[in-house]
Amino acid sequence: MRYSLTSLLKQTLTGHKGWTPQWRDAAPKAEYDIIIVGGGGHGLATAYYLAKEYGLRNIAVLEKSWIGSGNIGRNTTIIRSNYLLSENISLYELSLKLWEGLEQDFNYNAMVSQRGVLNLYHSDGQRDAYARRGNMMRLNGADSELLDREGVRKLYPFLNFDAARFPIQGGLLQKRGGTVRHDAVAWGYARGASDRGVDVIQNCEVTGIDIVDGRAVGVQTSRGAIRAKKIGLAVAGSSSRVAAMAGMRLPIESHVLQAFVSEGLKPVIPGVITFGAGHFYISQSDKGGLVFGGDIDGYNSYAQRGNLPVVEDVCEGGMALMPAIGRARMLRNWGGLVDMSMDGSPIIDRTHVKGLYLNAGWCYGGFKATPGSGFVFAHLLAKDEPHPAANRLLLDRFLSGHIVDEKGQGAQPNLH
Amino acid sequence: MRIPCPYCGSRDASEFSYSGDATLTRPAPDNADAMFDYVYLRDNPVGVHREYWYHDAGCHAWLTVTRNVSTHEVIDAVLAHDEAAS
Amino acid sequence: MSISRRLASGGLIDRSKPINFTFDGKTYGGYAGDTLASALLANDTMLVGRSFKYHRPRGIFSAGPEEPNALVTLRTGARGEPNTKATTVELFDGLVASSQNCWPSPNFDLRAVHQLAGPLLNAGFYYKTFMWPAAFWEKFYEPAIRRSAGLGALSGLDDPDTYERSHAFCDLLVIGAGPAGLAAALAAGRAGARVIVAEEDFVLGGRLLSDSAQIDGVSAASWAALAEAELGTLPNVRILKRTAVFGVYDGEYGAIERVSDHLSVPPPFAPRQRLWKIVAQQCVLAAGAQERPLVFPGNDRPGIMLASALRTYANRFGVTPGQRIAIFTTSDDGWRSAFELQKAGAEIAVVVDARTEVAPDVRKLAGNAPQFLGAHVSDTSGYRRLTNITITDSAGQTRSVAVDTLGVSGGWSPSIGIATHLGGKGSWSEEKSAFLCNDLPPGMQLAGAAAAQWTLTQALENGALAGAKAASHVGLGLQAQKPILAGDEASGNNPVWLFKGSRRKAFVDLQNDVTATDVALAAQEGFRSVEQLKRYTTLGMATDQGKTSNVNGLAILAGEIKKTIAETGATRARPPYVPVAIGAFAGLHSGKHFKPTRLTASHAASAAAGATFVEAGQWMRAQWFNAPGENDWLQSVTREVKAVRSSVGICDVSTLGKIALCGSDVGTFLDRVYINTFSTLPVGKVRYGVMLREDGFVMDDGTTGRLSADHYVMTTTTVNAGKVMQHLEYCHQVLWPELDVQMVSVTEQWAQYAVAGPKSRALLQALLGGACDVSNEAFPYLACAEFHVGNIPLRLFRVSFSGELAYEIAAPAGYGEALFNALMQAGKALGVTPYGTEALSVMRIEKGHVAGSELNGQTVARDLGLGRMMSVKKDYIGRTMAAREALIDPDRPTLVGLRPVDRSQRLRNGALLFARGMTPAPDNNAGFITSTAFSPGNNHWIGLGLLACGLERHGEIIRAWDPVRSGDLELEVVDPVFVDAEGARLRA
């Protein structure tokens, strides 16, 4: 059923009896052309674009739990393309453009809100780095503005300008950045994919990848074996575990990233603000909660939860930047598993196993990439060649040295 | 998380820096493939993991910590130096 | 004047201490020992707010932290605290509170028009509309939604109070000081265990304060007071009142103590709140249980409350919230509430139990009140206050009963939230009608109602046993416990999750306005996992975190999808269990105290000399020195540069990392960590070195001097001091433990000053006299020495960052200020000039030295013109990976000098480089400007940049594109060394 004000009014008059499941709760068939492992944002988006852009229908998305249970369900909802390197900007900018038309495209209000993303700088060195970044963004078709201190003050007069340990000198603003109602993205893609014939299969855990003569031919699951011509892995957070089923070791560690939400408050923070002298960024949801986060905990983890030192570190950043939030209460704090790659950038590529494709290594940037990731992964799966916007995010870059290291931290995942 | 530092006793993990997999061995010079493996590829296992922690805010010892990455249970911590020298 | 609902006697309030407070501008009276909620109820003020979505009138619902409705903004101005639960606010004189989410008042709220649109605004309606046109979302729909959403408002002012963080260590942490917690603390405390008892309330006792039971022959409340008194005599027991344990983390518990929240303003030097981080060997979670409401049509009217809350208001606060009270229950405990209320003097109009069979002993508890078994409440009426309930009896007959208060009791859920923080899952027990937790955090036991040990006797026994066990786990003897004598009570329950009746909304989550119909709609639309239900309907996501709604919601979902509750499961509990102020987590680290401030030894002297300081990591460094008459930083910096180049200047370089290395294998060790060779470095010499990361990119650079045969001192960049130390320790301890090397960071131990300029030798000669011969012959370029002046050890290095004849002289930090002053004194006649980091930077750019903006972690040695330093005769960290294809690509951007074709133009860092006339496009990008400075020597701006094939492009005119600053100019590519290319000056 198409969603619109008309359908909503009509259903209201008939007691909402006519709403149907937003996606079919499909049971696995014996064989598919393409299996996407992972019913998170990236997996569902991939299936959606495979169906929509390439007319492929015989597709299954396998989710071990409920769809949207991964990082699409536990992030800080920010979208942006304010990266330094062309390799990343091209992908994230493609993603941002897709976000801009997403709701009309998949007929689901995911509350894409381009409220602006501001990264603050506190030193000349940071200013220079942001100037370079802003220039690189412009070069790659993204929008960026370099603000001085007064420019920042005009936008956010309540920030701590006067009694700061690291005074704000200015910021890099991307007006087209913003926030999205994250869960709705998973549901919207699931609905769109399902409507186009994709089987969205929940509670179906992949336990093995069947490889014959160097070619992936299917998967073993908790609901039986399923054959497939192509298999795409979109299981960030658990990429190493699943890739190990195909005998692969990845340039990835799994880490935990915590995020936080406060009690609901009347509007106080219009856009997204990132502190430049500590680990803290914040926005406010439409429901009124301050949504904030900081750095990863920094140790390998599969536990989906973190520890107090990082909670304290994040809140210290918050209190350094905006002491007015001191009396707002943290309501909920959760942790998600992230694939921290060795250069801090994602990997979207074929693998040494024919018919097996990898979409991994999203670090903490996965949510904003969702549409773009799905779009380029669908291209890779359908055409067997990388999409031009992601043709340098390949697995062999580590061997050749064409690494995409935004922060210049080297092969230590927890520093990215 | 608390780490039992052999020198300093049980200390909060925030006193330490983390640097990952401790099962890797630096390969001999000029073995580019082995060096690539060593620098970039990780088992990244579920469950028990042996990993390096550096007692930054303490004795400056590198520790080999055995920890369950699924439960965060710290099972053991020894001096990496002793392990490497043995 | 409103009616007083205060009972003539009874309660644990102190009637000798009246308290005045203000709610919504009106002044009321209460007593010490009241909560804001009990005092409002005593003043017959039930309606205190409006609901989140429909703005329906809502009254006080509970008597504790589970409160979904009675959220107020406490205090005013910068101390205003939105969303504060009136049921947990300890009343203090002068308290000011106001209602939220309603305008102009809870009694008359204009946004109540939302109710008219009620049928439209069901679960997830917003996902289906507001999409057209796309631009309208940010402009129109969203602002409207945001304005009406949210609850209370932040003041927007900086929080004026302070917060502390404290660490505590104990054998046993007891969470909750109700019967089970007190019994546990007594048992463990008597056995000698170090016990911390954390109680969220301001009085110990928990349910003991709400019950009229007898324990050991005294009233329950007296027993609690006696237990507290005894615990107070035990030196090994610490009681933390007003302290909520909000989370279990790996190896520690987080708790929040509301130190001063019960006072109008924190006392001088006292924090508002204190965050406790408690390391406990053992833990007894005795947090009690949470009464469940019932879901039936019209169940949200002011006057409908948890039955146990009514009992608490009557027994603990001496307040009966209404005149005629009905009880609607599915549990024996509902009857007990009726009994307690009657005993306290309230009128029970009727008891309705959905169960057809109730034990006679239980039915007796209702006294003379009419009883309906197998019946339920099927409708209610009354807008701002409940006026009537409709009872549908077992035969289907309905009747209306006039009541102003309805107590609801749907059984109890153990408060196990924090027990699941480490990932343990609650499992549904049909027998107990509750989620229990078997998969507990290490060292934790549950006791009392938290373990579904419902009765008082069970709680006391169970608590004592848990306390004794905990003591024995930490090596103390298991002591026989004196039995505690208390009466027994019935605790039967047979939950019914949803009652049918009128077409009114049956609310599941009162705060987020989630109804049973919403849950059903979510299931109908395919949201069949509890987590999806939560996300689609927002059930349980309000400030009460679903304490009263989660179980009912998932049970209704289970019914909809024809599964058991066990199969449906619960959502994952996330900390904090109670909301905690962000300020408390930050502790003292806010504003200027965000991070420590590190000052160098010359700080005061530099300040006196006119220095402006700049943050360099945690350090404050002199950026430039303002001389009289200068009003522009560039003027000061230019003067400083000219002074150094023509005479002599002093710059504090103490912040550079300094690492002492000792041992017979230091040379070998350095060979392995630097790309160039150090094992050949003679004693008394310094060498510049570059380190790579193992991935082949440059990590850091600096000099290392050999002071004696087995004593070296290395310098690192300021920013990488810690990182390099860690790296070297790794190399030594993990990679090459066989090497005889010891190292220690001495950054803080030595103050170090650059003495630079053609007259630097003269200055040092004046200062040192015969202590050290600094002539070019005795002390040539790259010499170093350690010597004494008097009994002060000094170190001298002939190194130059500026390109001038220069030295760095170091003294123990304690003598740092004296050395700085002595240098200034000795140079007075030579016109010595102190210079800051800006002048330092200008001169290094003029000299083509790389610094942070070139050592950005993305460059290899060759990019920086340092490729020839890479030894081919030895292995070193990063060598193998540095040979990768992309790292040796001849087209990589390499370091070049840049100057504007139009010399009047200014260069800017971060501008992108393109071949002349080339359109800015990603594939055309040839590099960027890394560093810029106004060069006083050249009298124009100069820069360094990384440019593709840069070495071959000297003389080429290129384009610098800088759209973020509207810049676009032509540059000439030149050699990166702008002064003294032959290096004659530094060897002078």
* CATH code where residue A270 lies: 3.30.9.10
- Model ipTM over 0.95: yes
User: Are A103 and A162 in a shared domain?
Assistant: no
CB contact under 8 Å between B39 and C735, yes or no, is no
Whether residue A304 lies within 8 A of chain B, CB to CB, comes out as no
Dihedral sign of CA atoms C485, C490, C495, C498 in order: negative
Overall number of domains in chain B: 1
C249: CATH? 3.50.50.60
How many angstroms away from the CA of C252 is the closest CA of chain B? 7
Question: Which of A320, A340, A360 is the endpoint of a domain?
Answer: A340
**Are C8 and C136 members of one domain?**
yes
Q: Indicate if C638 and C774 belong to the same structural domain.
A: yes
For A257-301, the pLDDT digits (tens) are 999 999 999 999 999 999 999 999 999 999 999 999 999 999 999
CB C824 within 8 A of CB C649: no
Please check whether residues A263 and A156 belong to one and the same domain: yes
Q: What is the pLDDT of residues C877-896, one digit of tens each?
A: 999 999 999 999 999 999 99
Instruction: Give how many domains chain A has, as a whole number.
Output: 2
Please name the residue of chain B whose CA is at the shortest distance from the CA of residue C424: B71
Give the model's pLDDT for residue C368.
Answer: 93
| A91 lies in the same domain as A192 | yes
- Distance (Å, rounded) from C-alpha C692 to C-alpha A103? 48
Q: Residue C145: its pLDDT value, please?
A: 84
Residue C544 inside a domain? The answer is yes
A355 to chain B nearest CA, in Å? 22
Q: How many beta-carbon pairs below 8 A join chains A and B?
A: 68
Query: What's A28's DSSP letter?
Result: P
Tokens representing residue C869 in the block: 């330093």
Query: Subunits with at least 3 CB pairs below 8 A relative to chain C?
Result: A, B
| C-alpha separations of C328 from A178, C47, C346, C621 in Å | 48, 21, 16, 71
Contact A252 B44 (CB under 8 A): yes
Contacts of C882 in chain B (CB under 8 A): none
Residue C214 maps to a domain: yes
Q: Which residues of B touch A250 (CB under 8 A)?
A: 41-42, 44
Shared-domain flag, residues A206 and A316: no
Whether C14 and C37 share a structural domain: yes
Q: In which domain, by residue range, is C769 found? A: 598-654+749-842
* A123 and A241 housed in the same domain: no
Both A199 and A233 in one domain: the answer is yes
Q: Is the peptide bond before C133 cis (omega within 30 degrees of 0)?
A: yes
CATH of the domain at B22: 3.30.2270.10
CA angle, corner A131, sides to A128 and A134, nearest 5?
150
Taking a C-beta distance cutoff of 8 angstroms, is the pair C973, C896 a contact?
A: yes
Using CB atoms, which residue from C120, C528, C614 is nearest to A8? C120
Q: Report pLDDT digits (tens) over C277-316.
A: 999 999 999 999 999 999 999 999 999 999 999 999 999 9
Same domain, C549 and C608: no
Short-list C846, C848, C876, C878, CA closest to C864 = C848
- Shortest CA distance from B53: residue in chain A: A299
- Is residue B42 less than 8 Å (CB to CB) from chain A? yes
pLDDT at C288: 97
Are both A162 and A265 inside the same structural domain?
yes
- Which CATH number belongs to the domain containing residue A367 in this structure? 3.50.50.60
Q: Where do runs of H (alpha helix) occur along A238-365?
A: 239-244, 308-321
Q: Using CB atoms, pick whichever of C79, C574, C597 lies closest to residue A333.
A: C574
Q: Would you give the DSSP letter of residue C778?
A: T
Residues C271 and C315 reside in one and the same domain: no
The pTM of this model reads: 0.96
Give me the residues of chain C with pLDDT under 70, please. Answer: 1-2, 478-481
CB contact under 8 A, C857 and A90: no
Kindly state whether residues C564 and C426 are assigned to the same domain.
Answer: no
Using CB atoms, pick whichever of C521, C582, C595 lies closest to residue A165.
C595
Question: Which residue numbers in chain A have pLDDT < 70?
Answer: none
Domain that holds residue B34: 2-85
Residue A2 lies in a domain: no
| Contact call for C885 and A400, based on CB within 8 A | yes
Do C368 and C349 lie in one domain? The reply is yes
Contacting residues for C632 by C-beta, under 8 A, at least 6 apart: none
Which candidate from B40, B41, B44 shows the least CB-CB separation from A300?
Answer: B44
Q: Does any CB of chain C come closer than 8 Å to the CB of residue B32?
A: yes
Of C745, C762, C781, the residue at which a domain comes to its end is C745
Q: Which residue of A has its CA nearest to C102?
A: A266
pLDDT of residue C890: 94
> Apex CA C256: angle with CA C81 and CA C575, to 5°?
90
pLDDT at A122: 97
Domain hosting residue A159, numbered range: 113-178+254-340
How many structural domains does chain C have? 6
**Residues A272, A226 share a domain:** no
The answer to whether residue B10 neighbours chain A at the CB level (below 8 Å) is no
Structure confidence at residue C1 (pLDDT):
43
pLDDT for res C2: 59
Q: Do B69 and A254 touch (CB under 8 A)?
A: yes
Q: Are residues C38 and C151 in the same domain?
A: yes
- Whether residue A51 lies inside any domain: the answer is yes
Kindly state whether residues A332 and A281 are assigned to the same domain.
yes
- Do both C23 and C116 map to the same domain? yes
Do C472 and C420 sit in the same domain of this protein?
yes
Residue of C146, C583, C593 with shortest CB distance to A267: C146
Residues C268 and C357 reside in one and the same domain: no
Say if CB C291 and CB C410 are below 8 A apart.
yes
C175 vs C305: CA distance, rounded Å: 26
Task: For residue C863, tell me if it sits in a domain.
Answer: no
Tell me if chain B has a CB within 8 Å of the CB of A116: no
From C156, C176, C202, the end of a domain falls on C156
Residues C377, C496: contact at Cβ < 8 Å?
no
CA B38 vs CA A285, B43, C694, C725, C732: distances in Å: 43, 11, 9, 22, 18
Q: How many contacts, defined by CB atoms under 8 Å, are there between B and C?
A: 67
Q: Indicate the length of chain C as a whole number.
A: 988
Angle at C755 between CA C752 and CA C756, to 5 degrees: 140
| Best A172, A327, A330 residue to mutate vs chain C (most C CBs within 10 Å) | A327
Closest residue of B to C249, CA-based?
A: B1
Asked if the Cβ–Cβ distance from B70 to A303 is below 8 Å, we say yes
The mean pLDDT value for B43-65 works out to 97
Q: Among the three residues C476, C503, C520, which one is the final residue of a domain in this structure?
A: C476
Mean pLDDT of chain A: 96
Question: In terms of domains, do C611 and C695 share one?
Answer: no
A394 found inside a domain: no
Tell me, yes or no, whether C21 lies in a domain: yes
Find the closest chain B residue to C739 by CA distance.
Answer: B85
Q: Of C240, C273, C242, C265, which Cα lies nearest the Cα of C162?
A: C273
Shared-domain flag, residues A324 and A221: no
**Which of B11, B12, B19, B42 is the mutation pick for testing A, counting most A CBs within 10 A?**
B42
- Would A389 be classed as within a structural domain? no
In chain A, residues with a C-beta closer than 8 Å to the C-beta of B52 are none
Considering the domain architecture, whether residues A149 and A164 belong to the same structural domain is answered as yes
List, for residues C14-46, the tens digit of each pLDDT value.
Answer: 999 999 999 999 999 999 999 999 999 999 999
Assigned domain for A322 exists: yes
The answer to whether residue C573 is domain-embedded is no
